[in-house]
Structure 1
């Protein structure tokens, strides 16, 4: 009788909590007090997929976003309001990319970097996401005012744009506070250490609030703002047959579309995971493993976002290509004969009076 009790205790101890399949966002611990523990499925392939993806994204993002920042910073004269937002967006992507080698190493060796670095790299990941969508929402409002209402007074005051960007970074930090407070290095008895939330005896309701509140203010509301602004902006462009501005908006629409394609699947799966762990939907071992695999796959897709914007600028944004070629020609890296005759040294080009359009 005594031996059986010890075996039951050891089994519960080994299988309590699936730490081998944690994610980098504000995931909740499994809450199945009255059910048998589920055996986690082997995810070795996923681990190495994350490592390879992280290395690729790191290199592409480091190169691409550095070039984007260089081109925008060198275009002081004709830099548009949207360019300022895109500069901050590139900074956010670059900061996140710098953390990818650490995440990749932790996938293979466990979290061996301590609690301080756990909080820092988790914070950079969260801030990258929130600042990204908030900056895109700011761009949508700027385009809406400039095109739908032909409002120039607000959008032409560059010092106001700087304060808006600072406010965006501050709000992103506020939305990421749960990561700073609760992230720590956890040492499970049967697996490698992990960078994970430790909420102690917090209730399931409190945990759900910590996940849903940032998602509501940092994802759903900015998304609704973008849909509203771009819906009316696109309608105005099509009704007025404003071909030049319509072409200039292609880059912005592409940036927003890529952001949604990369991050929306992850947050939909994250919502399903929240409902599962708070027992709003029924919990089964198969469903838990399916959601865990989906979180890994969609998170890898989210990683790719930090390196995709430079490709959009390069293939769709004519002004970016011209600005980059001018910088290369100025430093003697290419011949000036490769420069287009109508090139301008920035993302921006004049399209309507003194109002510049991006990229």
Structure 2
């Protein structure tokens, strides 16, 4: 039976601490088999197209060496890295792991790498906006392309180190009931460490940075009436807000589930993990949509691109090429 082959320790950060071996996961696995593959394929297609359009627009119409665009390109790459793990997960949820142990480790590491780097680049973009608005005079001398490249390299290095854990701990095993599984073999203290590492380092600390930076930005904008900064601040703020609206429920449920009694076989938390984790995944699909609807200059770039392809009959002349930032 197909559902008996599903491993509840699914190969992503979203389920890394899920352990239902002592319970009967048949209903939860059937839900996953019916719903998740189609959802993953849909998110994959929309995310690749959306993020691809963002990269194309930056390449054709923007300066690639500005601080904002360097961070933005890295954020989109992070989204794409995460997105490319979805087809593997879709196949896995449909039956069993068929890709071997090497890809088991690599796919999980890429999943974590995209997840962690996206959080760090969102945090970095927020802090950069804070410097540009609150400390504009001092930061203008330091916010150069070299600074952005160095900071981006640091973010990728931190993300890579943090994503080594699944590379070491995920293995492929043959189970009589579940078939071939790609699962997290870490136990005890390693699981607790991983749970709180994700919750504190990649959720609580970024949240604290976001709250502080945007509180200072709002005070600065209101006190000085910096009209020209409103659109950039609003764009990054909404991206960050949607990120936490998508990821907060899952992190909270993950923490609750990680501390529940192992003998508790209540399925409610297991369903909640799957639902909230896929709400979180939608972020990587929604992200480019906000660039389209909130970034006025992005809208103008898209119109110019359509016009150049003969797909837009009405000329749109409101584009201003003098702006430095993507927002």
1:338 alignment partner in structure 2: 315
Per-residue Cα deviation, 1:15-40 (whole angstroms, up to 9, x for no partner) = xxx964333226236499xxxx4322
1:181 aligns with 2:161: no
Query: Which of the residues 181, 188, 193 maps onto 2:180?
Result: 193
CA distance in 1, matches of 2:96, 2:289: 33
Higher deviation after alignment, 186-195 or 213-222: 213-222
Q: How many residue pairs end up in the alignment?
A: 320
Q: 1:214 to 1:300 in 2, by over 3 A?
A: closer
Deviation at 1:58, TM superposition (A): 1.0
State the secondary structure of the residue aligned to 2:183.
strand
Alignment check: 8 A CA contact 1:72 1:79 kept: no
1:226 aligns with 2:213: no
Per-residue Cα deviation, 1:143-188 (whole angstroms, up to 9, x for no partner) = 1111112233355311110111111111111111111100111222
Instruction: Using structure 1 for the length normalisation, give the TM-score.
Output: 0.82
1:285 alignment partner in structure 2: 265
CA distance in 2, matches of 1:74, 1:29: 44
Deviation at 1:319, TM superposition (A): 0.7
CA distance in 2, matches of 1:313, 1:155: 26
CA distance in 1, matches of 2:41, 2:98: 19
Q: 1:234 to 1:80 in 2, by over 3 A?
A: farther
1:259 aligns with 2:248: no
Alignment check: 8 A CA contact 2:249 2:276 kept: yes
Over aligned residues, Cα RMSD in angstroms? Answer: 2.4
State the secondary structure of the residue aligned to 1:187.
strand
Instruction: Using structure 2 for the length normalisation, give the TM-score.
Output: 0.89
**Consecutive unaligned residues in structure 2, runs of 5 or more:** none
1:4 alignment partner in structure 2: none
CA distance in 1, matches of 2:293, 2:244: 19
Alignment check: 8 A CA contact 2:65 2:145 kept: no
1:51 alignment partner in structure 2: 37
Q: 1:29 to 1:76 in 2, by over 3 A?
A: closer
1:208 aligns with 2:196: no
Deviation at 1:271, TM superposition (A): 0.8
Alignment check: 8 A CA contact 2:123 2:209 kept: yes
2:288 alignment partner in structure 1: 310
1:7 alignment partner in structure 2: none
Alignment check: 8 A CA contact 1:81 1:158 kept: yes
1:135 aligns with 2:121: yes
Higher deviation after alignment, 157-166 or 213-222: 213-222
1:77-156 aligned at under 5 Å gives the runs 77=63, 80-150=66-136, 151-156=138-143
1:301 aligns with 2:279: yes
CA distance in 2, matches of 1:60, 1:80: 27
CA distance in 2, matches of 1:265, 1:126: 18
1:319 aligns with 2:304: no
Alignment check: 8 A CA contact 2:66 2:144 kept: no
1:165 alignment partner in structure 2: 152
**Consecutive unaligned residues in structure 1, runs of 5 or more:** 1-17, 351-355
CA distance in 2, matches of 1:293, 1:64: 29
CA distance in 2, matches of 1:332, 1:29: 51
Alignment check: 8 A CA contact 1:110 1:194 kept: yes
CA distance in 2, matches of 1:153, 1:283: 57
